[in-house]
């Protein structure tokens, strides 16, 4: 009996909650992500993930995959969420957080490229795109007249513009700002603003973390200025 009482009186060790697993596509570039081999080393997605996991009392873990495999990882529950995604960019049913990261999709041109007033004028012209990316508005308007020039990542297209291998490319404002900060000599101009958006996080339907809990933590990060301070470092 004394032995049983002694066992029952042992302190119960708290069990740490499982990590919050983020999936990151390897075709992301700065400011979203910088990879060291297969490891997500730094960038906006890493910093946001660390902030969100800390707010939830969890440890952040990062799963890096080719872009074509990220949706499957979420559907199968290999990861909890992937941030900076729009519903129109994916082809599988996922849950969605509150909008988090504001950005804009742009058509960017070299300074010596002919001026375009509308997307329709892009018909038949080569335009830099990212392999595996969808471009809903241009694809809808131009159809088969959209001449894609796929690169592995967005920075590759911006470098093609800079050295004269392309006249036009699709990009996002965050990516363009980061590129121009590192390459102030690049003679690029914003040709058209296609869409302004605030990207949420795509959440796995199999994640054990309730969506309401994720949303509450994200709203807290927005309200206390943490998200804005994070964005300011990358603009």
- Do residue 145 and residue 173 come from a single domain? yes
Domain limits at 26? Answer: 20-100+200-232
* CATH number, residue 145: 3.40.190.10
Residue-wise pLDDT for 171-203, tens only, equals 999 999 999 999 999 989 999 999 999 999 999
- Do residue 90 and residue 205 come from a single domain? yes
The predicted model gives 4-23 an average pLDDT of 69
> What whole-number percentage of the chain has pLDDT above 90?
82
How many independent structural domains does the chain possess? 2
| pLDDT score for 13 | 55
Residue-wise pLDDT for 152-172, tens only, equals 989 999 999 999 999 999 999
Q: How confident is the model at residue 17 (pLDDT cuts 50, 70, 90)?
A: confident
- Do residue 109 and residue 217 come from a single domain? no
The predicted model gives 102-114 an average pLDDT of 95
The predicted model gives 206-231 an average pLDDT of 96
Is the pLDDT confidence value at 223 over 70? yes
CA 184 to chain centre: 24
Q: How confident is the model at residue 127 (pLDDT cuts 50, 70, 90)?
A: very high
| pLDDT score for 131 | 87
- Do residue 95 and residue 160 come from a single domain? no
| pLDDT score for 32 | 94
| pLDDT score for 7 | 47
Residue 186 within any structural domain of the chain? yes
- Do residue 107 and residue 73 come from a single domain? no
CA 162 to chain centre: 24
Is the pLDDT confidence value at 139 over 80? yes
Residue 13 within any structural domain of the chain? no
What whole-number distance in Å separates Cα of residue 176 and Cα of residue 185?
13
- Do residue 71 and residue 136 come from a single domain? no
- Do residue 87 and residue 166 come from a single domain? no
Is the pLDDT confidence value at 1 over 80? no
| pLDDT score for 133 | 86
- Do residue 95 and residue 204 come from a single domain? yes
The full DSSP string for 150-210 is: EESSHHHHHHHHHHTS-SEEEEEHHHHHHHHHH-TT--EEEEEEEEEEEE-EEE-TT-SS-
What whole-number distance in Å separates Cα of residue 169 and Cα of residue 107?
6
| pLDDT score for 234 | 83
Residue 146 within any structural domain of the chain? yes
| pLDDT score for 5 | 47
Residue 181 within any structural domain of the chain? yes
Residue-wise pLDDT for 49-87, tens only, equals 999 999 999 999 999 999 889 999 999 999 999 999 999
Q: Which residues of 73-91 are buried (b: 16+ CB within 10 A; e: fewer)?
A: bbbeebbbbbbbbbeeebe
The predicted model gives 126-144 an average pLDDT of 91
- Do residue 61 and residue 108 come from a single domain? no
40 or 15, higher pLDDT = 40
Residue 175 within any structural domain of the chain? yes
Residue 3 within any structural domain of the chain? no
- Do residue 109 and residue 193 come from a single domain? yes
Residue 2 within any structural domain of the chain? no
Helices 211-223 and 44-55 meet at what angle, rounded to 10?
Answer: 110
Residue 112 within any structural domain of the chain? yes
- Do residue 53 and residue 107 come from a single domain? no
Is the pLDDT confidence value at 126 over 90? yes
- Do residue 95 and residue 109 come from a single domain? no
């Amino acid at each position: 009996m004394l032995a049983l009482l002694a066992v029952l009186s042992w302190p119960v060790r708290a069990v740490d909650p499982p990590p919050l697993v983020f999936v990151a596509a390897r075709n992301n570039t700065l400011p979203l992500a910088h990879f060291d081999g297969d490891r997500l080393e730094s960038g906006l997605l890493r910093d946001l993930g660390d902030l969100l996991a800390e707010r939830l009392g969890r440890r952040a873990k990062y799963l890096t995959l080719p872009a074509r495999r990220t949706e499957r990882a979420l559907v199968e529950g290999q990861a909890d969420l992937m941030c900076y995604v729009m519903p129109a960019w994916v082809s599988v049913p996922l849950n969605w957080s509150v909008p988090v990261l504001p950005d804009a999709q742009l058509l960017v041109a070299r300074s010596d490229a002919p001026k375009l007033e509308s997307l329709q004028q892009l018909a038949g012209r080569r335009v830099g795109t990212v392999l595996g990316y969808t471009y809903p508005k241009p694809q809808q308007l131009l159809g088969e007249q959209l001449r894609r020039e796929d690169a592995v990542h967005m920075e590759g297209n911006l470098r093609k513009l800079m050295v004269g291998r392309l006249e036009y490319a699709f990009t996002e404002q965050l990516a363009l700002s980061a590129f121009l900060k590192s390459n102030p000599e690049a003679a690029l101009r914003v040709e058209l603003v296609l869409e302004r958006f605030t990207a949420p996080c795509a959440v796995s339907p199999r994640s054990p973390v309730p969506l309401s809990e994720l949303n509450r933590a994200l709203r807290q990060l927005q309200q206390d200025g943490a998200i804005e301070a994070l964005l300011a470092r990358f603009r």
